[in-house]
Chains A and B, each alone.
Chain A
């Protein structure tokens, strides 16, 4: 009997005796569930919707792994707390080099270690090398001081309004003699950001990018073994090991609120799961307005949820390449990260176009998963994953838009490695991901949403709790920490 049938047979049943429920199946949801279970709570994770596939065959013999194949920031407290390395987390490459291709065709190869950036930059522009490396060191220091804030902690006392309101351009333009260095940092910071580099508060996205720590290295880039599913699978294992029971359902109907406290969730069939703590990893509007209802939310709180986020996002394309296995421009070493960095003006235009709903070139980040895991492509062939940003947020079944994105992905590959682009045999487009804002507004909004719902026992680690692109697990950790504090102070009894 499958899990789903089992569920059906027990329909309309009210089950209790749990300490906490987690709604959603994001990485943060699994992290929160596993952390609570490790602390001794009886946790149920309610997986809504379909479970993500581990692999998808995009052409005969070519496999794409959905999700982000690389990571910039993994919350060390979660990695340690859940012993994720024992649960199967490992890195295919701990310090990925980044190969930057500029709009004018020039290239820059950075070593995986930001400490060694000076030499790499000297190859591009001798005069700026020292200044660039000093700037980066300084920014990493500033970013380090903000790490806790980005991950959901209290606002630091140190940074002034001036710094918070600055744009990427405020900080970068005019700083280096070689504009391309600025273009590189702008591209890094713009990846996943909703704001143009000239807009206020965008400097924070550069700091967020530099604050992340992965594989013990601040500001580094790592490839997780198993690609986009590597971390998810490790987290699932960690949750299972910790004793989290995982239930699958189409959707949660509502959250039961008794008095000021949450008491469980109910399903469409009338069934209920009762627990005094609920962590939601779904969207904030769904979490609060759909599940709880405005009548039980403060007016000022519900108003914050009414501000729409910009309809801008990123889209990932998986390409199957029948060869060649290299390109004179990028060399034969494909186990690197490739970044297409446009100049300031075209990038600004790209953001404006995406806001208008048009598809135009922006930043592209390319990796070759098959160079890290040979099983993903037939011998002598390759798979590539390109992250395109910004693109207009679109419905996954909008075919014309998918065709535009496919073309954009092909163009990006051609811009980075022209010869390789001839070998594309298939392209698969993932559903777009909304930009996770790094602006001061987003951080404030996160504070308001996670702190002020007024419902005891209800914790939130959904998309609005994420600051900056890429998975970090911090939101899940914060939600679990709050829930555990509530549990221990007797709020749940």
Chain B
């Protein structure tokens, strides 16, 4: 065969979202390939089970998944904790211990969020800030901090940004169980193989627009592929590469700073792990602390006590610090992260967790990135923006559903 291969859909950006997207497209009959960029986040922990649509399409019942109940969000405060993420009536009843009115207000809030999630046009709530929306619903400052930590902070937002209310809508999404990310990855690889999707190992080198609105992708291996359509697996995997993405007007794209993942080990398993099984813990203090961390991030500094989200497993703790600067600024000069900075961050995160859990923890690993801002600074304006799923708490399924949409109509023919 001479000349570059011609395909229907090129999925840029690997990882689980990319895999899910390329499998989905291939199963729908499209010639599809997956091009990693090198900015993917590794597949660890657990992810949401895919929606039944995708389950049916990929015949996922063959792969023997083990299901876990959906994780609960638990905010730990000094001498206080708030947990949500169960059935809304049950959550409401639990919250009514804080304030009797919440028993009925909480289900109303959940239902409103579910409706807001669906309502795309003429939705004023989509345009306002998360804090404005929370203030409109609740008085309980701790509950507002909890919702901010659980739904807004993961996007690197502190809740005062216009449009950040959109992140809160996820509270209204149907609860789905979770599955092991690595198993899901293997299943997707097999499903992709069976469907004839090409999963490249060589990284993408360049992407350009050629005649007839087609795309030409060059790979580090020297290979070239022509594609009719290109989609991004996620904004985070593609923007550091310098490509622009179009996420259908979502206000949740991270534009500043990066997330850091800190792995911690402990000698004695914290009591909280037994008290709250299957939980994502949040330690933020209050909404002001979240804002301080966000401001520090933009100012190129590390907050002293950053808001932290973490999960506890048998061996240790995996923590996320959402508000880290892309580059640290000292005396007006920007510089890259050093090993020492990572240590400082690790210690700060460990300090926050130790204080709240009351157990000693050791930092074993700190990872920062990917750096989107670097990509934004050298973006390629000569080609159109690439369709990407809107940032979401469930990026795998968001990518798969986008591939589903793109291969509907004539794309799947």
A–B touch (CB < 8 A): the answer is yes
Partner of B379 from the list A162, A174, A304, A310 (CB cut-off 8 Å) is A174
In the assembled complex, which residues on chain B have CB atoms less than 8 Å from the CB atom of A84?
A: none
* Closest A-B pairs by Cβ, 9 of them: A161-B249, A200-B251, A174-B379, A441-B127, A165-B249, A198-B255, A200-B163, A352-B295, A162-B246
* B132 in contact (CB, < 8 A): yes
Q: Which residue of A has the minimal Cβ distance to B373?
A: A173
Residues A160 and B249 in contact, CB atoms below 8 Å apart: yes
Residues A200 and B161 in contact, CB atoms below 8 Å apart: yes
Partner of A199 from the list B161, B242, B250 (CB cut-off 8 Å) is B161
Q: Which residue of A has the minimal Cβ distance to B334?
A: A345
Q: Which residue of B has the minimal Cβ distance to A131?
A: B381
Q: Which residue of A has the minimal Cβ distance to B385?
A: A162
Bound-state CA distance A274–B247 (Å) is 53
Chain A nearest CB from B151 CB (Å) reads 17
* B80 in contact (CB, < 8 A): no
In the assembled complex, which residues on chain A have CB atoms less than 8 Å from the CB atom of B247?
A: 162
Partner of B256 from the list A175, A198, A202 (CB cut-off 8 Å) is A198
Bound-state CA distance A145–B372 (Å) is 32
8 Å CB interface, B231-249 against A: 242, 246-249
Partner of B298 from the list A165, A167, A349 (CB cut-off 8 Å) is A349
In the assembled complex, which residues on chain B have CB atoms less than 8 Å from the CB atom of A169?
A: 255, 376
- Taken residue by residue from 434 to 460, chain A's Cβ proximity to chain B (1 for < 8 Å, 0 otherwise) reads as 000001110011001000000000000
* B377 in contact (CB, < 8 A): yes
* B267 in contact (CB, < 8 A): no
Q: Which residue of A has the minimal Cβ distance to B254?
A: A198
Residues of chain A whose beta carbon lies under 8 Å from any beta carbon of chain B: 160-162, 164-165, 167, 169-170, 173-175, 195, 198-202, 303-304, 306-308, 310, 345, 348-349, 352, 355-356, 439-441, 444-445, 448
Q: Which residue of A has the minimal Cβ distance to B163?
A: A200
Bound-state CA distance A441–B123 (Å) is 10
Residues B127 and A439 in contact, CB atoms below 8 Å apart: yes
Residues B299 and A352 in contact, CB atoms below 8 Å apart: yes
A162-B248, A345-B334 are known contacts; what are 4 more A-B pairs with Cβ within 8 Å? A162-B249, A174-B376, A303-B136, A440-B127
Known A307-B136, A441-B128, A444-B127; contact A165-B377, beta-carbon cutoff 8 A: no
Q: Which residue of B has the minimal Cβ distance to A135?
A: B381
Bound-state CA distance A167–B298 (Å) is 16
Chain B nearest CB from A307 CB (Å) reads 5
In the assembled complex, which residues on chain B have CB atoms less than 8 Å from the CB atom of A439?
A: 127, 162
Residues B377 and A173 in contact, CB atoms below 8 Å apart: yes
In the assembled complex, which residues on chain B have CB atoms less than 8 Å from the CB atom of A198?
A: 255-256, 298
In the assembled complex, which residues on chain B have CB atoms less than 8 Å from the CB atom of A170?
A: 255
Partner of B300 from the list A164, A303, A345, A444 (CB cut-off 8 Å) is A345
Residues B381 and A445 in contact, CB atoms below 8 Å apart: no
Bound-state CA distance A199–B163 (Å) is 9
Bound-state CA distance A348–B376 (Å) is 16
18 residue pairs A–B, Cβ–Cβ below 8 Å: A162-B248, A162-B385, A165-B251, A167-B255, A174-B379, A195-B162, A198-B255, A200-B162, A303-B136, A345-B300, A349-B298, A349-B299, A352-B298, A352-B299, A439-B162, A444-B124, A444-B127, A445-B124
Residues B246 and A304 in contact, CB atoms below 8 Å apart: no
In the assembled complex, which residues on chain B have CB atoms less than 8 Å from the CB atom of A448?
A: 124
In the assembled complex, which residues on chain B have CB atoms less than 8 Å from the CB atom of A310?
A: 160
Q: Which residue of B has the minimal Cβ distance to A353?
A: B295
Chain B nearest CB from A107 CB (Å) reads 20
Residues of chain B whose beta carbon lies under 8 Å from any beta carbon of chain A: 124, 127-128, 132, 136, 160-163, 242, 246-251, 253, 255-256, 295, 298-300, 329, 334, 376-379, 381, 385
Chain A nearest CB from B389 CB (Å) reads 13
In the assembled complex, which residues on chain B have CB atoms less than 8 Å from the CB atom of A303?
A: 136
In the assembled complex, which residues on chain A have CB atoms less than 8 Å from the CB atom of B136?
A: 303, 306-307
Residues B378 and A174 in contact, CB atoms below 8 Å apart: yes
* Majority-rule SS of B interface residues: loop
Residues B251 and A201 in contact, CB atoms below 8 Å apart: yes
Q: Which residue of A has the minimal Cβ distance to B250?
A: A165
Q: Which residue of B has the minimal Cβ distance to A161?
A: B249
Q: Which residue of A has the minimal Cβ distance to B251?
A: A200
Bound-state CA distance A170–B298 (Å) is 16
Bound-state CA distance A170–B377 (Å) is 10
In the assembled complex, which residues on chain B have CB atoms less than 8 Å from the CB atom of A352?
A: 295, 298-299
Bound-state CA distance A440–B242 (Å) is 27
Bound-state CA distance A307–B131 (Å) is 10
Chain B nearest CB from A49 CB (Å) reads 29
Chain A nearest CB from B236 CB (Å) reads 15
Residues B162 and A441 in contact, CB atoms below 8 Å apart: yes
Bound-state CA distance A254–B329 (Å) is 54
Bound-state CA distance A371–B242 (Å) is 47
Q: Which residue of A has the minimal Cβ distance to B132?
A: A307
Residue of B248, B295, B300, B385 ringed by the most chain A CB atoms within 10 A: B295
In the assembled complex, which residues on chain B have CB atoms less than 8 Å from the CB atom of A195?
A: 161-162
Chain B nearest CB from A348 CB (Å) reads 5
In the assembled complex, which residues on chain B have CB atoms less than 8 Å from the CB atom of A160?
A: 249
Chain A nearest CB from B18 CB (Å) reads 22
Partner of B128 from the list A162, A164, A307, A356 (CB cut-off 8 Å) is A307
Bound-state CA distance A282–B192 (Å) is 62
Q: Which residue of B has the minimal Cβ distance to A169?
A: B255
In the assembled complex, which residues on chain B have CB atoms less than 8 Å from the CB atom of A164?
A: 249
Partner of B124 from the list A162, A200, A356, A441 (CB cut-off 8 Å) is A441
Bound-state CA distance A165–B123 (Å) is 14
Chain B nearest CB from A126 CB (Å) reads 19
Bound-state CA distance A439–B162 (Å) is 8
Bound-state CA distance A162–B246 (Å) is 6
Chain B nearest CB from A441 CB (Å) reads 4
Residue of A167, A200, A304, A345 ringed by the most chain B CB atoms within 10 A: A200
Chain A nearest CB from B387 CB (Å) reads 10
Bound-state CA distance A63–B398 (Å) is 61
Residues A161 and B248 in contact, CB atoms below 8 Å apart: yes
In the assembled complex, which residues on chain A have CB atoms less than 8 Å from the CB atom of B298?
A: 198, 348-349, 352
Residues A345 and B124 in contact, CB atoms below 8 Å apart: no
Chain A nearest CB from B296 CB (Å) reads 9
Residues A174 and B381 in contact, CB atoms below 8 Å apart: yes
Bound-state CA distance A201–B165 (Å) is 14
Residues B299 and A173 in contact, CB atoms below 8 Å apart: no
Q: Which residue of A has the minimal Cβ distance to B160?
A: A355
Known A161-B249, A165-B251; contact A201-B379, beta-carbon cutoff 8 A: no
Chain A nearest CB from B157 CB (Å) reads 10
Bound-state CA distance A440–B248 (Å) is 15
Bound-state CA distance A198–B298 (Å) is 10
In the assembled complex, which residues on chain B have CB atoms less than 8 Å from the CB atom of A345?
A: 300, 329, 334
In the assembled complex, which residues on chain A have CB atoms less than 8 Å from the CB atom of B250?
A: 165
Chain B nearest CB from A440 CB (Å) reads 5
Bound-state CA distance A418–B54 (Å) is 65
In the assembled complex, which residues on chain A have CB atoms less than 8 Å from the CB atom of B163?
A: 165, 200-201, 441
In the assembled complex, which residues on chain B have CB atoms less than 8 Å from the CB atom of A348?
A: 256, 298
Bound-state CA distance A167–B250 (Å) is 11
Bound-state CA distance A57–B162 (Å) is 41
Bound-state CA distance A83–B30 (Å) is 64
Residues A201 and B127 in contact, CB atoms below 8 Å apart: yes
Q: Which residue of A has the minimal Cβ distance to B378?
A: A174
Residue of A160, A165, A169, A174 ringed by the most chain B CB atoms within 10 A: A165
Bound-state CA distance A160–B384 (Å) is 14
Residues A356 and B376 in contact, CB atoms below 8 Å apart: no
Bound-state CA distance A349–B377 (Å) is 18
In the assembled complex, which residues on chain B have CB atoms less than 8 Å from the CB atom of A173?
A: 376-377, 379
Q: Which residue of B has the minimal Cβ distance to A164?
A: B249
In the assembled complex, which residues on chain B have CB atoms less than 8 Å from the CB atom of A201?
A: 127, 162-163, 251
In the assembled complex, which residues on chain A have CB atoms less than 8 Å from the CB atom of B378?
A: 174
In the assembled complex, which residues on chain B have CB atoms less than 8 Å from the CB atom of A167?
A: 255
Bound-state CA distance A112–B378 (Å) is 31
